[in-house]
């Protein structure tokens, strides 16, 4: 089947080709992207800088059925400040993830937003249900074959890192076409509008919006990822991890 913007969809209830995510504004991309380039993030071609809130999400042909409820939920959460100030790591069974911690003011605001969105679309609960009911907001920087490799990269990047901050006033629904596609924005969902009575509507992008600071062509280290194969950062075929920790989706990033 095809839907808005000509994307092909799978017809499944949940897919890894769509997400509801926090995306930093354009002014906050430069340092994050520089860090991803420095460690040769194989997700650089596919993903913009992001914090997944509902992932996996609905096939694009079904997204429209959820956006009004998501907009009402997001309207009940006040806008808040986000600061990417510290790197952290996740250890998985066969790999590790280096990520930036999106600290919020007020504390817990991103957790509150994710919970509100999940209540509005409870089918898409993987960010909590697969991790003991705990949501760990994170902005992935790269994936590595071992925790030691991830920690070495963490030390290198932390030496010169300067925090990145912005005010969260919206979240995005994104989708990509197939295993090799780039994520593009298909809806903007405003955060905060004084509650349901003044709820702002989701704003559709037709055609889907391509983020202007995404690479125009895959960097050479993203070649395999651009073809949809499972590879981790800095080489080596990536094995599917069973019982992986937070930040390890079933589909390679």
Residues 6+ apart with CB under 8 A from 217: none
Strands 139-144, 164-168: pairing is unpaired
Grade residue 102 by pLDDT with cuts at 50, 70 and 90: very high
Q: How far apart are CA 202 and CA 83, in angstroms?
A: 25
Q: How far apart are CA 185 and CA 137, in angstroms?
A: 20
Query: Which strands, in side-by-side order, build the sheet including 139-144?
Result: 139-144, 96-105, 80-91, 164-168
| Residues 150-200 pLDDT 10s | 999 999 999 999 999 999 999 999 999 877 799 999 999 999 975 554 456
Higher pLDDT, 121 or 197: 121
Which pLDDT value is given to residue 178?
79
pLDDT at 238 over 70: no
Which pLDDT value is given to residue 172?
97
């Amino acid at each position: 089947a095809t839907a808005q913007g000509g994307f092909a969809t799978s017809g499944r209830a949940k897919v890894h080709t769509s997400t509801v995510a926090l995306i930093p504004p354009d002014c906050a991309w430069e340092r994050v992207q520089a860090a991803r380039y420095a460690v040769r993030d194989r997700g650089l071609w596919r993903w913009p800088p992001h914090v997944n809130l509902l992932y996996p999400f609905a096939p694009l042909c079904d997204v429209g059925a959820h956006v009004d409820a998501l907009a009402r939920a997001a309207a009940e959460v006040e806008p808040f400040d986000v600061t990417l100030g510290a790197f952290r790591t996740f250890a998985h069974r066969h790999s590790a993830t280096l990520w930036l911690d999106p600290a919020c003011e007020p504390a817990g605001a991103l957790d509150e937003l994710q919970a509100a969105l999940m209540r509005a679309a409870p089918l898409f609960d993987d960010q909590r249900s697969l991790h003991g009911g705990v949501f760990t907001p994170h902005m992935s920087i790269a994936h590595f074959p071992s925790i030691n490799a991830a920690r070495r990269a963490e030390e290198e990047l932390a030496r010169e890192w300067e925090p990145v901050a912005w005010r969260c006033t919206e979240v995005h629904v994104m989708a990509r076409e197939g295993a090799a596609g780039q994520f593009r924005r298909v809806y903007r969902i405003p955060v905060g509008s004084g509650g349901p009575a003044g709820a702002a509507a989701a704003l559709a992008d037709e055609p889907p919006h391509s983020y202007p600071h995404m690479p125009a062509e895959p960097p050479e280290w993203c070649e395999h990822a651009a073809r949809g194969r499972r590879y981790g950062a800095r080489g080596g075929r990536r094995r599917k991890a069973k019982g992986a920790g937070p930040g390890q989706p079933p589909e390679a990033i």
